[in-house]
Structure 1
Amino acid sequence: MITFEHVSKNYSHNGSIIKALDNVELKINEQEVFGVIGESGSGKSTLLRMINTLEYPSEGQVKVAGVDLMQRNETEQRQNRKQIGMIFQQFNLLYNQTVKENIGLPLHLNKSYDQKRVEEVLNFVRLGEKGMHYPSQLSGGEKQRVGIARALITQPKILLCDEPTSALDGQNAYDVMELLRKINRTFGTTMVIVSHELNLIKQLCDRTAILENGKVLETLAIQKEQQQQRFGSYYERVRENLG
Structure 2
Amino acid sequence: MITFDQVSKFYNHNGSAVTALDNVEFKIQEHEIFGVIGESGSGKSTLLRMINTLEKPSQGVIKVFDADLMQLNEKQKRQSRKQIGMIFQQFNLLYNQTVNENIGLPLRLNNAYDQKRIQEVLEFVRLSDKGKYYPSQLSGGEKQRVGIARALITQPKILLCDEPTSALDGQNAYDILELLRRINQTFGTTMVIVSHELNMIKQLCDRTAILENGKVLDILAIQRSQQSTQFGSYYERVRESLG
**TM-score under structure 2 normalisation?**
0.96
1:5 aligns with 2:5: yes
- The amino acid of 2:202's aligned partner reads K
Task: Indicate the residue corresponding to 2:131 in structure 1.
Answer: 131
Going from structure 1 to structure 2, the CA distance change for 1:85 and 1:137 (only over 3 Å counts) comes to same
Task: Indicate the residue corresponding to 2:229 in structure 1.
Answer: none
Alpha carbons 2:203, 2:224 under 8 Å: kept: no
Question: How far off its partner does 1:118 sit?
Answer: 0.3
- The amino acid of 2:127's aligned partner reads L
1:104 aligns with 2:104: yes
1:53 aligns with 2:39: no
Task: Indicate the residue corresponding to 1:21 in structure 2.
Answer: 21
Task: Indicate the residue corresponding to 1:155 in structure 2.
Answer: 155
User: 2:65, 2:91 → 1: CA distance?
Assistant: 28
Gaps of 5+ in 1: 227-231
**Runs (4+) off by over 2 Å:** none
Question: How far off its partner does 1:235 sit?
Answer: 1.2
1:1-243 to structure 2, matched below 5 A, reads 1-223=1-223, 233-243=233-243
User: 2:108, 2:224 → 1: CA distance?
Assistant: 44
Task: Indicate the residue corresponding to 1:229 in structure 2.
Answer: none
For residue 31 of structure 2, give the secondary structure of its aligned residue in structure 1: coil
For residue 237 of structure 1, give the secondary structure of its aligned residue in structure 2: helix
Question: How far off its partner does 1:71 sit?
Answer: 0.3
Greater Cα offset, 215-224 or 23-32: 215-224
Alpha carbons 2:91, 2:143 under 8 Å: kept: yes
- The amino acid of 1:110's aligned partner reads N
- The amino acid of 2:139's aligned partner reads S
User: 1:76, 1:225 → 2: CA distance?
Assistant: 43
- The amino acid of 1:62's aligned partner reads I
Aligned residue pairs: how many? 238
Going from structure 1 to structure 2, the CA distance change for 1:37 and 1:114 (only over 3 Å counts) comes to same
User: 1:168, 1:204 → 2: CA distance?
Assistant: 16
Q: 1:104-139, CA deviations, whole angstroms, 9 ceiling, x for partnerless residues?
A: 000000111111100000000000011000000000
Question: What is the Cα-based RMSD across aligned positions, in Å?
Answer: 1.2
Question: How far off its partner does 1:225 sit?
Answer: 11
For residue 108 of structure 1, give the secondary structure of its aligned residue in structure 2: helix
Question: How far off its partner does 1:170 sit?
Answer: 0.1
Question: How far off its partner does 1:60 sit?
Answer: 0.4
For residue 180 of structure 2, give the secondary structure of its aligned residue in structure 1: helix
- The amino acid of 2:24's aligned partner reads V
Going from structure 1 to structure 2, the CA distance change for 1:239 and 1:5 (only over 3 Å counts) comes to same
Question: How far off its partner does 1:239 sit?
Answer: 1.4
Question: How far off its partner does 1:224 sit?
Answer: 7.8
Question: How far off its partner does 1:241 sit?
Answer: 1.4
User: 1:66, 1:155 → 2: CA distance?
Assistant: 19
For residue 92 of structure 1, give the secondary structure of its aligned residue in structure 2: coil
User: 1:206, 1:52 → 2: CA distance?
Assistant: 21
Question: How far off its partner does 1:242 sit?
Answer: 1.0
Question: How far off its partner does 1:65 sit?
Answer: 1.8
**TM-score under structure 1 normalisation?**
0.96
Gaps of 5+ in 2: 227-231
For residue 20 of structure 1, give the secondary structure of its aligned residue in structure 2: strand
- The amino acid of 2:86's aligned partner reads M
